Amino acid sequence: MKKLSRQDLIDLVDGAAIFSAGGGGDPEVGYEIVDELVGEGYDVRLVDPFEVPDETIAVNFACVGATTEVAYDSEAAVKTLRAFEEYVGREAYAVVPIELGGFNTLVAVDVAARCGIPVVDADGAGRAVPEVHLKVYTIDNISLAPMAVADIYCKNLVIVKQTRDSKSAERIARTLAAEWGHSAYTARRILTGKQVKISPILHTLSKSIRIGMLLRTSVDPIGAVLKETKGFMLFQGVVEKAERETKAGFTWTNVMLRGTDERQNPRFELRAKNEILVAYRDEKLAAMAPDIVTPVHPETGKCITAEKIKKSERTAILGFPAPNKWRTSKGLELWKDVLQRSDVDETYTPIEQLNP
């Protein structure tokens, strides 16, 4: 078990954001969480999945809602986890982040530290995802319920005993989040110590810390990250148009960029439902979920979340292969459903085939 320093946590914010596909919440709020944790003297302990005792349980924790409405209250988040533990009649040995993102990963870190338990070096997606049920646990038939859902100040708290399926749990959590200002806490997906070792995407927090360190220390941060991740530079250009709408608990974003070579005048389009789902280069498919498409600052390489992309800003677009578990038939079927309901009808093609 490793104790994380303030620098580790800052690197975690930046590194997790790289895998967020432009979602996962605002990294600026992630930095604020770090400052409060460190300033108040809490210890953050990172436990390897293989060190979690088999007979214990771990709980997944995060916020759900629209990325334009990110807010956080540590005391309320802890209350949500404690209420969940009280309902199930067991204390969590550790907390698992449900995804990678500059905000949502740190929410799990914060709740774990304040409860005096470790955060697991793993997460439920290996990236950020737009819907609650869209986790690799669904592939393994691990129930999403029971689930606790609370508003941002924990004035309203709902315990969901069971649901017909994971998609039903997504609808319940999303509806409540939309009712409560497009943001809510969720504690869900109980994992046994045995399941922690095989179901999540493993060692993603330590990987994110490594990526954050490369962004901070490298002369060419983007080049270093692409080399480390076997990723792709998909496009560099200027934002020509950025349109977004918050509705039904999601932030929908469409972005158009133009290249800087006026002779060729290339265009690049991004479409996001919280996270970027699909990208087109000159109207041809350039990448699509579950592969990861992340906008970044062209010099620092730090993530620019989709809801913060602004017209006339220079932006680089990076692409990364999805974790292998998402590329299985079950994983792709889960994504196909989400994509089709988001008006993305293309057939999945791996990013490395689209960008040889």
Q: How far apart are CA 31 and CA 103, in angstroms?
A: 8
- Running DSSP on this structure, what letter comes out for residue 92? -
Give the 3-state DSSP-derived string for 233-244, with helices as H, strands as E and coil as C: EEEEEEEEEEEE
CB 96 within 8 A of CB 120: yes
Nearest CA among 183, 148, 179, 163 for reference residue 274: 183
Burial class (CB in 10 A: 0-12, 13-18, 19+), 80: buried
Residue 159 in tokens: 């315990």
| SS3 of residue 286 by DSSP | strand
Q: What is the pLDDT of residue 262?
A: 58
What's the confidence (pLDDT) of residue 210?
98
Give residue 146's Cα distance to chain centre.
21
Contact predicate 142/195, CB 8 Å: yes
Output the six-digit token pair for 213: 């360190």
pLDDT average per 10 residues of sequence, the chain (356 residues): 97 98 95 97 98 98 82 95 98 98 97 98 97 94 95 96 92 91 93 98 98 98 98 96 89 92 80 96 97 97 96 97 98 96 95 95
Q: Give residues with Cβ within 8 angstroms of 81, minimum separation 6.
A: 59, 61, 92, 95, 111, 115, 148, 187
- What pLDDT score does 79 carry? 98
Handedness of CA 108, 113, 115, 117 (dihedral sign): positive
| Tokens describing residue 138 | 């669904």
pLDDT at residue 121, as a whole number? 98
Q: At what angle do helices 6-18 and 104-114 cross, to 10 degrees?
A: 150
* Helix/strand/coil for 294: strand
Residue-range domains of the chain with CATH: 2-204 (3.40.1610.10), 220-342 (2.40.390.10)
Residue 308 CA from chain centroid, whole number: 16
The answer to whether the beta carbons of residues 315 and 304 sit under 8 Å apart is yes
Residue type at position 307: E
The whole-model pTM stands at 0.96
Give the pLDDT score at 61: 97
The DSSP code sequence of 201-263 is: EETHHHHHHHHHHHHHH-SSHHHHHHHHHT-EEEEEEEEEEEEEEEETTEEEEEEEEE-S-TT
